[in-house]
Amino acid sequence: MIFTDDIKAAVAKTAFIPILTFSEAGEAHLIVVGKGEPVAEDTLSFGIYKMETTQKNIASTGKAQVVLVDMENGPKGFRLTGKACVEGGKVLFKAEAVEALL
């Protein structure tokens, strides 16, 4: 999945980004992070600040979702579903599917 211009704009304009990860038991864990940064056509990078449970879930299942919202020029929102990993002090999230929310 390649990020569209609308998704890239939402990443750039969103001050806080919710990230949802899942444990091996299927328990959801939701956090909010600051800015994300596109590092590939389908991958976002997030800095790690604590995130103990998030990192544990990523190591266990890798399953994650990210929600983006852009209110400029009318509301647009996206739910990205994919896999995450921890690499070099960053969370890397690779989107595999996108759902328009607004």
pTM: 0.92
Domain total of the chain: 1
CATH of the domain at 38: 2.30.110.10
**pLDDT for residue 49:** 87
pLDDT tens digits, one per residue of 6-63: 999 999 998 899 999 999 999 999 999 988 999 999 999 999 988 999 999 999 999 9
Q: Which residues pair with 46 in a beta bridge?
A: 91
Q: 28 or 1, which is more confident?
A: 28
pLDDT tens digits, one per residue of 88-102: 999 999 999 999 997
CA pair distance 77, 53, nearest whole angstrom: 26
Residue span of the structural domain in which 54 resides: 5-100
